[in-house]
Structure 1
Amino acid sequence: MLEDAFKPYKEALANDFDGNFDLLLQQDEHSTRDYLRHKMKYDYHTIQWLETMCSASGLFDQAFTESVIDSLDFDYCVQPVDWYCIDGGTSLIVDKILEMIKGKVQYKKRVTSIAIDRTVMSESNMVVKVSKEEVPRKYATVFNTTSLACMERMDLKGAELHPAQKDAIRTLHYDISGKVAIKFNHPWWVTKCGITKAGVASTDLPLRSCVYPSYSISDSTSKPAVLLCSYTWAQDAQRIGSLITDNSPEGEEELVDVILRNLARLHANSISYDEIHEAYMTHYSWDWSKDQYTSGAFALFGPGQFANLYPYLVRPAADAKLHILGEAASAHHAWLVGSLDSAYRAVHHFLQRFELYDGLTKLQLEWGTNGEMETGDNGTAHLQVALGRLRPEEHVWLGRADDLDDYVIVPRGV
């Protein structure tokens, strides 16, 4: 039933994501629930059931566009896609990237302010203040990769942001999410339940989604194993999150009890609560809404936010020297692809801004093109950079950002 609603847009996006994105944006004013009710004519309880089985409690209240793109990313591919598990964890990718960077990455440095100093007769006029550092730092360009919640806590009054950019940073909707992983003394889901492949179980119990791992399938069944017992979003995550104390195993007896009892009920045909409880060793939980470095799990836009705020978010500011990156600044929220796409765009804008055309050629040769960008002579990428160079007094905001007729460039002093 969901595929009936999503398929026309998914097929169009799969054939030409950038060219057909406007087709999807025509429905951006609808939440998923609203679209299913009024466009697909599904009744209330049918929609409730679809949300329960395929999503999270309340998540259908967010944009229909989000549901379509999420389904496109994970449920539909024009060509087969190979998925890989990194032996040792995804952080190994970051470690390898760090080895390639010439300068040393500095940790535990909290940025308190980003501004541009137009009085400095140098390209290095981006001023960044760091907590507990008396002397501000100066750069030619700033790539901000924090979550929008963290960026909002910075002093940005000197960053020459467009009013809609400020609005986007403050209001673009972030979802919440929680995970509870438990280490058992053996993989009882394999030995008792016969679950020998990776997959997901969905339920209306509080744990909502139980994820069976792929990385330990070939391990000995006599060895300890970890099960992602609960992966939640939206209101489900909020409720489970209230039982997560300090993102640590201590003081979470009720959380463990709820999860173990839910697991027993979910697998009641094969194993008892006592057997699962006896196999318990330890656990680890995480609530992204309590994480000060994210203040939310990932971007998940509400109705109308893609059409009205997203185009401003991905435009540079401060003489096109300040770039907003991260999965929120992409069309593919909540995972690595969005972060990579936003990075590509920011690098492209940076090279365009400083007229490093050899770099643009190299970028496209080594990394191809980005489906979220309109590049080339007939594209809009260079116009985004031009708009990012305007001072606050040089533009008038008349409405939607995805139509060039919405802009009036006003010379200073007029």
Structure 2
Amino acid sequence: MREPYIKDRPDLSQHQLVFDTIEYLNEYNKKDDPNSEIKLIPFIFSNPNALYYFNNKKAPSGEIMTLNYSKSVGVKELGLPDVIPDNYLDLFNDALQPFFDELDKNFTNGLIYLKRYDHHSTYSYLREVFLPKVLPSKKPQDYDVIISAIVAEELGIGDFRQFGFVPTVVEIYTFSDPNYNISWSTIDKGMQRLPNAFLPMIKKENINLKYNSEVYKLEKTDDDKIKVFWNNDGKSFSEIYDRIIVTVPLGVVCHWDLPLTLSYGKRRAIREMDYQLSEKIYLQFKSRFWEKPPSESGANPTTSDAGIVGGETWTDLPIRTIVYPSYYVNISAEKPGILLASYAWHSDALKFGQFSEEELFKLALKDLATIHGDIVYKEWVPGKENNKAKYWQHDKTVGGADYAYFGVGQTESLVGAMMRPEECIHWGGEHTDIHTGWIVGALNSAVRVVREILLDNLMSDKWFELKNTRLLKYWNGNIEVFEDR
């Protein structure tokens, strides 16, 4: 996981709450639990020496193209049809730029403006609104070819047609706001250190965590409380609470027995909200050959003959994205390393669902060898204990998908209903925030739920006291965007 920020502009950094939470936890744990400290290190998001391999095309020299090289040549050399203009990716950025400008002025107001286009998918906006305006001489079928080339490099195949235009704009704005330089950080020794850093506080407050417990029913009592039913180790349990907070993915919640008095809007949101599929395949290697120049390592020659430290290679091969780790900076490339050999979304991810974990390793190695050469077979460390494939559709704890990604019209019709508390049940999680799929979405929803509970209990003074703390200085739950829905 990586976190973006705009240096010296926390007011514009949509993920600032993540960094402020880390600062708060480090201060809290500094005295009694110094081993819980969260250390941030730079994450290298893009690298001009990472590779570009689409349409089975190499440079005329026979070398694998780098990303930097691919940007310097025309569509013919990239293996694309000549109906696609050379600046096709710039066209996509141009289509989104007016919305980025509005979001930069004021994110909440920009989001309200953007919601006017919630009836569009990204595909329909490009095909029906933008491309006919900037390329009026092209035929409608040409627009389809252009959009296909764009989506192959920007998101998962099928994303532009199924998912809404609004979440696409917000997602790409987070990654690449062209008005500012985006910097990236990650957590040293893994993102698990973030949730673990909450444990000292939980223990100190004597909060009872019930692990390995599967909720299956929420029931409203006669005195307007909520009875929660769960299974643990083959036994059933239940307990009554004044209020509960549900942050569980909706693919799990939809199988629960829920109070019959929940509104139609809430039930519709639980039933219909779209989620994104994804898969990751991690492979371990004896050395980090990718960090060496190919002329030294024996890998396939590239147009830069430079090693790759951090960044991502993009390809239309099934593995789709190779993510080079940022954790090994200043460590000899002769040492072992773990490579995220495949990261794919939506219909690209679906194509991996029928394979066993061992088969996925071999498939990833095959595509990796097409790009980097047979050195991948020589350096690979085999065995399930050394490699890992994660296919979220098979994970029952997340309900068959990775994270929420709103479909056409869902930002307008479902998000407000999903956020709204009903029957003493408050709803949180990344799927109840505009920043779906991100830690900040979960944190934003947590603050919103605390606000709901304090205001419902006539404790507005406590809410304003909390809101004015350093921790929440830059919090923006964008509540006014959805509160009337």
What TM-score range do you get, normalising by the shorter chain?
0.7 to 0.9
Where do residues 361-400 of structure 1 align in structure 2 (5 Å cutoff)? 361-366=464-469, 367-368=472-473, 370-374=475-479
Per-residue CA deviations over 1:296-330 (Å, capped at 9, x if unaligned) read 11111110111111111111110xx2111111100
Report what 1:47 is aligned to.
147
- State TM-score, norm by structure 1: 0.83
One-letter identity of the residue aligned with 1:83: W
Report what 1:173 is aligned to.
274
Asked whether 1:279 is paired with 2:384, we answer: no
Separation (CA, whole Å) in 2 of partners of 1:196 and 1:178: 23
Report what 2:252 is aligned to.
150
Contact 2:103 2:110 in 1 (8 A): yes
Counterpart of 2:340 in 1: which secondary structure? strand
Give the deviation of 1:380 after TM superposition.
Answer: 8.7
Report what 1:317 is aligned to.
422
Per-residue CA deviations over 1:132-176 (Å, capped at 9, x if unaligned) read 555521112211111011111111134x32101101111100110
One-letter identity of the residue aligned with 1:233: W
Residue 265 of structure 1, aligned match among 351, 370, 376: 370
Residue 335 of structure 2, aligned match among 223, 226, 247: 223
Asked whether 1:291 is paired with 2:398, we answer: no
Asked whether 1:88 is paired with 2:189, we answer: yes
Asked whether 1:352 is paired with 2:455, we answer: yes
Report what 1:392 is aligned to.
none
Counterpart of 1:39 in 2: which secondary structure? helix
Separation (CA, whole Å) in 2 of partners of 1:297 and 1:304: 21
Give the deviation of 1:189 after TM superposition.
Answer: 0.6
Residue 346 of structure 2, aligned match among 229, 234, 240: 234
Between the two proteins, what is the percent identity of the paired residues?
Answer: 27
* Structure 1 unaligned regions, length at least 5: 385-400, 403-414
One-letter identity of the residue aligned with 2:335: K
Asked whether 1:25 is paired with 2:115, we answer: yes
List structure 1 segments (4+ residues) > 6 angstroms apart after TM superposition: none
One-letter identity of the residue aligned with 1:95: N
Separation (CA, whole Å) in 1 of partners of 2:236 and 2:291: 58
Contact 1:345 1:373 in 2 (8 A): no
One-letter identity of the residue aligned with 1:109: S
Counterpart of 1:83 in 2: which secondary structure? strand
Counterpart of 1:262 in 2: which secondary structure? helix
Give the deviation of 1:281 after TM superposition.
Answer: 0.4
Contact 1:200 1:210 in 2 (8 A): yes
Counterpart of 1:195 in 2: which secondary structure? coil
Residue 310 of structure 2, aligned match among 188, 198, 207: 198
Separation (CA, whole Å) in 2 of partners of 1:284 and 1:174: 23
Report what 2:285 is aligned to.
184
Separation (CA, whole Å) in 2 of partners of 1:189 and 1:196: 6
1:97–1:20 CA distance, 2 compared to 1 (3 A): same
Separation (CA, whole Å) in 1 of partners of 2:407 and 2:276: 10
Report what 1:114 is aligned to.
218
Contact 2:428 2:445 in 1 (8 A): yes
Give the deviation of 1:277 after TM superposition.
Answer: 0.3
- State TM-score, norm by structure 2: 0.71
1:326–1:348 CA distance, 2 compared to 1 (3 A): same
Give the deviation of 1:11 after TM superposition.
Answer: 1.6
Per-residue CA deviations over 1:223-259 (Å, capped at 9, x if unaligned) read 110110100001100002322x2xxx5xx2x322321
Separation (CA, whole Å) in 2 of partners of 1:206 and 1:50: 17
Aligned-CA RMSD value: 1.9
Separation (CA, whole Å) in 1 of partners of 2:156 and 2:473: 35
Separation (CA, whole Å) in 1 of partners of 2:274 and 2:118: 14
